[in-house]
Structure 1
Amino acid sequence: MCVGVPAKVIQKHEYQALVDVMGSQTTVGIIFIPDVEVGNYVIVHAGQAMSIIDEQFALESVNEWRKLIDARNS
């Protein structure tokens, strides 16, 4: 099973972008979505941004991820 996480693009470079994933920043590849812009939300899997997603969907997904994390930590 493959799982992608939502992330917000903070900076864009030629083939990479700095993204925020639930408060942590990391660099991901953007070769699959070269038209991504700063401020877009993307799905990240295995170090690559796979697709641009709607902001509302991204925020709802982050909320669900937080529920899973909280449940695991209780």
Structure 2
Amino acid sequence: MCLAIPMKILEIDGVTAVTAVEGVTRRIRLDLLPDVSVGDYVLVHAGLAIATVDAAAARETLEILQRLADEVP
């Protein structure tokens, strides 16, 4: 099982993109998703975009992850 984080694409440069979540930016690879656009949300695992999601699903996932993190002592 893997944990993928939803991130919004801010810039695209070939097969890489700059993404952001919660004010943190990361450069990721787009090899598996060549048809994404700036503004799209993608699930990122190990620096690689593995799926697209809509904004509502991205928000819901981030809320769930935050609730889980809040439960860790």
| CA deviation map 1:15-54 (0-9, x unaligned) | 1000012221000000110111111000001110011111
Report the TM-score when normalising by structure 2: 0.91
Question: Which residue identity does 2:37 align to in structure 1?
Answer: E
Gapped regions of structure 1 (runs ≥ 5) = none
Which secondary structure does the structure 2 equivalent of 1:64 belong to? helix
Matched, 1:5 2:5: yes
Which secondary structure does the structure 2 equivalent of 1:2 belong to? coil
- 1:69 is displaced (CA, Å) by 2.0
Matched, 1:43 2:43: yes
Residues 22 and 62, structure 1, Cα contact 8 Å, conserved in 2: no
- 1:56 is displaced (CA, Å) by 0.6
Aligned to 2:21: 21
Gapped regions of structure 2 (runs ≥ 5) = none
Give the percent of matched residue pairs that are identical in Structure 1 and Structure 2. Answer: 33
